[in-house]
Structure 1
């Protein structure tokens, strides 16, 4: 694809994996010029029925739509370069956006978040610092795991989000972690609250007692004890496991189950519900624009339309 050199390494790796698993085995032998819309439709239906690489069934609508977008991007490039007259994906019908909707977002209340963080800090302070940082900044997992101490200004209470980390698969050599740009390709500055700054100071002091190398400017804030990147997926699994333990300790009715990514949603939801301007929240999250934030979190203020109507009526009464 034309834009491959502009993509993050982890994105390129994901594209290659999906091409290898879901496109080449089905369409690889078919000359591109003979590919038709109905053939693309038949391929997607086959993926939905029996597309799983382990042979246990079909792919989700979300995965099928994702693989379709990869194929569409490649064929669009071919049309643009004059190697293909017509893009057959223009005449195909992938799963709709509603069918491919990601898992519903979950968010903790402020009380639930505070309760969990207190418990997690007593259970495993190292991991708890990661959960607090994600919840307090709205950073993506990949961004937090790539943050270094040189990005953190504890005196000013600020953190610069400059990069992200992801996995790429080397042929015959398994996976490796590589750093790349943030999702937007731009860095941003996120202000830290006093409690998070204090927690970072305590955390850094403790890490420094283990090894001075863990607190040098270039060191990763949330590194493993050997100073290396934590693996993103294993980091998420640690969170899931700790939530399970916390629910046992605190009571399942006190703490709903959420994913690690939902700490980002919790951050945004709590701020928006408290009246923080959408533009400010959008900047903290690293969204390309505030419209994305409004679209994703339109559920936060279901009653704002009624409030607007009441305010307008009050103006007329005045």
Structure 2
């Protein structure tokens, strides 16, 4: 039997246990070919995913590419370890069905947060969408598979703002912490709304102890120095008085430790070798130990930044100002992502019906 493929006719053979079955299979192949749904391409999901990541390397920042690879490797383990079992990754693109994706998503549900599963599905959908545009598949098998969960599940992983009593306990614990580098890095994230990479990327030239401000000019993660996340992420932020006092004491500690004051290109939070910033995972490890000892519910490093924005807004700071301090591209991002109603703020929104019935005083 010959069928059209990529503008030319090709001959294929189909086999069945009986002549009737062979005829049925031939009709199915012909129907798919007429619909443009027939392809003999044997590119695997993992193979196409690797090529997709290579293309993305030219389009996105290194940190973003690392996140893409990390998320995809949860669904396609062979991207991380070529010897790892990878049922979906070994399957040809054209053979993947929504049922295969549903099975994978259900498995991921049991091991990862709802937020993580959604990110994984999003990357898989993007891969198959590109394959669809290249006519390697006739449909996107990820599109009909939804990732659903309760609102509580989603918000629990999206981040939270620390309540005031938690902030107080954490600051006291940071003052008593044995490693001043880690402690002050965490404090800057909470007091100035810095991302982890922004804090670790600070050099002494970025801090003006006289004016009481710091300037974000670079970020550090995964062993690399990069530009700030967006053009608005490069910004100057005021340092609160108590944090500024600790920064001055911290610099004096380094002057004594080095026998001279650190030069302007010296990392504010250097690692053990001093030539590189502090290990990217060190603040997170320290924070987990601290909050566990304090009995505070789980806190991520990024939640310190969430807390900064939330408390600014809760205390009446204009949305545009908070957006600028956070380094967001626009105020809608600030409002949508970092606006958490805190317990003390919720309590402030009280309307007494008796007050509504009282006559208003004339001006």
TM tier, smaller:
0.7 to 0.9
- Structure with the larger helix share: 1
Higher relative contact order structure (alpha carbons within 8 Å, sequence separation ≥ 6): 1
In 1, the alpha carbon distance for the partners of 2:169 and 2:108 equals 43
Aligned-residue Cα RMSD (Å) equals 3.4
Please name the residue that 1:142 is paired with: 197
Taking the TM superposition and a 5 Å limit, the aligned residue runs for 1:172-211 are 177-184=223-230, 186-211=233-258
Q: Secondary structure at the match of 2:243?
A: helix
Deviates more, 1:70-79 or 1:297-306: 297-306
Please name the residue that 1:55 is paired with: none
Please name the residue that 1:44 is paired with: 105
Which of residues 269, 281, 299 in structure 1 aligns to 2:341? 299
Q: Write the deviation string for residues 22-60 of structure 1: whole angstroms up to 9, x where unpaired.
A: 2251322222233333332232223335xxxxxxxx333
Q: Secondary structure at the match of 2:281?
A: helix
Which of residues 280, 283, 290 in structure 1 aligns to 2:321? 280
8 A Cα contact 1:138 1:284, kept in partner: yes
Q: Secondary structure at the match of 1:27?
A: coil
Q: Are 1:233 and 2:288 an aligned pair?
A: no
Deviates more, 1:64-73 or 1:127-136: 127-136
In 2, the alpha carbon distance for the partners of 1:40 and 1:46 equals 10
In 1, the alpha carbon distance for the partners of 2:359 and 2:210 equals 46
Q: Are 1:120 and 2:120 an aligned pair?
A: no
Please name the residue that 2:57 is paired with: 4
Q: Secondary structure at the match of 1:159?
A: strand
From the CA coordinates, give the structure whose radius of gyration is larger: 2
Please name the residue that 1:172 is paired with: none
In 1, the alpha carbon distance for the partners of 2:359 and 2:219 equals 48
8 A Cα contact 1:8 1:181, kept in partner: no
Please name the residue that 2:121 is paired with: 68
Q: Secondary structure at the match of 1:91?
A: coil
In 1, the alpha carbon distance for the partners of 2:334 and 2:154 equals 19
Deviates more, 1:260-269 or 1:202-211: 260-269
8 A Cα contact 1:145 1:222, kept in partner: yes
Structure 1 residue ranges without an equivalent (≥5):
50-57, 168-176
Q: CA deviation at 1:213?
A: 8.4
In 2, the alpha carbon distance for the partners of 1:202 and 1:67 equals 44
Structure 2 residue ranges without an equivalent (≥5):
1-51, 79-85
Q: Are 1:270 and 2:336 an aligned pair?
A: no
8 A Cα contact 2:75 2:120, kept in partner: yes
Give the TM-score, by structure 2 length.
0.68
Q: How many residues align?
A: 291
Which of residues 198, 222, 227 in structure 1 aligns to 2:269? 222
Give the TM-score, by structure 1 length.
0.76
Q: Are 1:108 and 2:154 an aligned pair?
A: no
